[in-house]
């Protein structure tokens, strides 16, 4: 399963600059508290973990609960230390896994 992902990372940054990162992923985030058309509870299906690694080093991690809105949007900051790649990973119920990368050039 490949989920649609949108990532906003500046292409270039000065060394030591604090950059803002925005991520969005298509996912229903079904809470497990709603009833379906036949009256049964819809099973929970959420993203539980989001991580961001900068050249292999984890710089941000978030544990999500059903209270995060559908199509989770997460924005955070990091320091541009060196040129390389940022790797984003999402894990969730029913074996959901998605990842995306973004390159950054640091002057």
Partner 1 sequence: MIRRRDFALGAAAAVLAPPARAERPALDEMVRRITGGAALRPGRVTLDVPPLVENGNAVPLAVAVDSPMSEADHVRAIHVVNEKNPQPQVISAVLGPRAGRARLATRIKLADSQKVAAIAEMSDGSFWGATAEVVVTIAACVEEVK
> Residues interacting with partner 1, by CB under 8 A?
18-19, 22, 29, 31, 33-37, 42, 54, 57, 59-70, 72-79, 81
> 75-107 burial, b if ≥16 CB within 10 A, otherwise e?
eeebebbeebebbbbbebeeebebeeebebebe
- CA–CA separation, 106 and 104 (whole Å): 6
Separation of CA 64 from chain center: 10
Q: Which is nearer to partner 1, 31 or 83 (CB)?
A: 31
Q: Smallest distance from the beta carbon of 95 to partner 1, in angstroms? A: 22
Q: Smallest distance from the beta carbon of 99 to partner 1, in angstroms? A: 18
Q: Smallest distance from the beta carbon of 62 to partner 1, in angstroms? A: 4
């Amino acid at each position: 399963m490949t989920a649609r992902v949108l990532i906003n990372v500046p292409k270039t940054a000065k060394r030591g600059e604090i950059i803002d990162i925005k991520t969005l992923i298509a996912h229903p985030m079904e809470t497990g508290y709603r009833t379906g058309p036949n009256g049964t509870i819809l099973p929970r299906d959420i993203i539980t973990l989001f991580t961001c690694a900068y050249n292999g080093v984890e710089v941000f991690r978030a544990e999500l609960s059903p209270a995060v809105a559908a199509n989770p949007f997460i924005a955070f900051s990091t320091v541009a230390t060196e040129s390389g790649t940022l790797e984003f990973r999402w894990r969730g119920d029913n074996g959901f896994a998605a990842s995306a990368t973004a390159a950054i050039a640091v002057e």
